[in-house]
Amino acid sequence: MEDTIAAISTALGVGAISIIRVSGKEAIEIVNKIWSGKDLSTVPSHTIHYGFIKDGEEKIDEVLVSIMKAPKTFTKEDVIEINSHGGIATTNRVLELLLTCGCRLAEPGEFTKRAFLNGRIDLIEAEGVMDLISAKTEKSRTLALSQMTGKVSSMIHDLRKRLVDIISNIEVNIDYPEYEDIEVVTIEKIKENISYIEEEVKRILSRSETGALIKDGIKTAIVGKPNVGKSSILNKLLEEEKAIVTDIAGTTRDIVEGEVSLDGILLHMIDTAGIRDTDDTVESIGVKKSLEWIEKAELVLYVLNNNEEMTEEEKAILKKVQTKPSILIINKIDLDTHLELPEVNMPIIYMSTVENKGIEELRQEIKNLFHLEEIEQDDYTYLSSARSISLLKQCLQGVDSIQLGIKQNLPIDMIEIDLKFIWNLLGEIIGENYSEELINDMFSKFCLGK
């Protein structure tokens, strides 16, 4: 991290303002080389200054420069942000001058990575930064902000502190083995605290499913044979004509996608090609994708035609979709009923897209299925990343091992190994200990300039 880095932090294109960010120990010196205005090395920190960016005697742009001196900056290094006029040519020219004068082009997420490595934020807060940038709903924005401001991290810090207290007790026991009463007190302290840790980890895990739901949304596949009205249902949910609708079976030949927010949770909607045997090469590929989507989807909306008898193929698909969260939609109830429905273990919605019936009932059933209306409005201290959730599950395995060790009267120093194992896992969640490979992979997913 000895290099001084620079990158464009705003979307590249025509706009009122572009921001070029610079961070590193030579940031002020390098920007001064292309700056016409007050000497930036003498101005107070956290101030904004008017001037020009110049290449020799040529004026490149009229700008405002924000100067923030270490350590009270996002990266804990000297940071300068050049606010130039928006436009591809101007913005790129300013960046080019910075690189010529000694900056290195920042890697994706490198500013946030430096903030983490310099102790400004932890890993949960870093993930919150990325989630805040990509948030598409109010709930996901609030969740990301809760992570970014350290509210979620504090839960993990509290658990680690309890473990440190237990481990300290054990160290005293090992150092002074002649005092038998210390071991008794230590075992009782372990039992009490490990029960609390188990309950707390389970509570966090039970809420993490909600966190993942808020952050990632619900992959939703609309499946059924051709011409049952899948595309019409998609259009009604999206409230736009996203999919082509005709009376010709097999109109949808590939996957049609869209997103709809339901109580602040995104449904990632997939309108699949109709499932049937077909000799059409292109359509058969679409059918294959549809069957794959049933496996991948977190919610399946299975559509049957009220006006037709079920085929054997439809009955087989019906059994398949009942193994996961799914809703059965009987469409075209405005037509004569010829459908004989077998007994099913799933919610049923009766619908007519022509008469606009059943769409609100479908929305409500999805809310009921995923308990969307029960998500707390005032508490967003959830873990939402698969990495963190996996580590917490490993913590529970460590708890089980400790409880078994106590029952088997294992030596206290053996129990300490499992306690340190849990302590290290919790440290991985917040980044107190980490692998370089994990850090590089995580921050590579950030956008350039953040």
Residue-wise DSSP of 180-232:
HHHHHHHHHHHHHHHHHHHHHHHHHHHHHHHHHHHHH-EEEEEE-STTSSHHH
For residues 372 and 262, is the Cβ–Cβ distance under 8 A?
yes
Q: Provide the edge-to-edge strand list for the sheet that holds 326-331.
A: 256-262, 265-271, 218-223, 299-305, 326-331, 348-350
Per-residue pLDDT at 127: 86
Residues of the chain with pLDDT under 70: 173-185, 240-256, 273-290, 376-381
Per-residue pLDDT at 178: 54
User: Phi first, then psi: what are they for 60, rounded to 5°?
Assistant: -95, -45
Per-residue pLDDT at 378: 52
Per-residue pLDDT at 379: 60
- What is the per-residue pLDDT across 363-390, written as a single tens digit (0 to 9) for each? 999 988 888 877 765 566 677 788 888 9
Q: Count Cα neighbours of 358 within 13 Å in the Cβ-side half-sphere.
A: 22
Which two tokens mark 316? Answer: 């087989």
Question: In what helix (H) or strand (E) does residue 235 lie, and over which residues does it extend?
Answer: helix 230-238
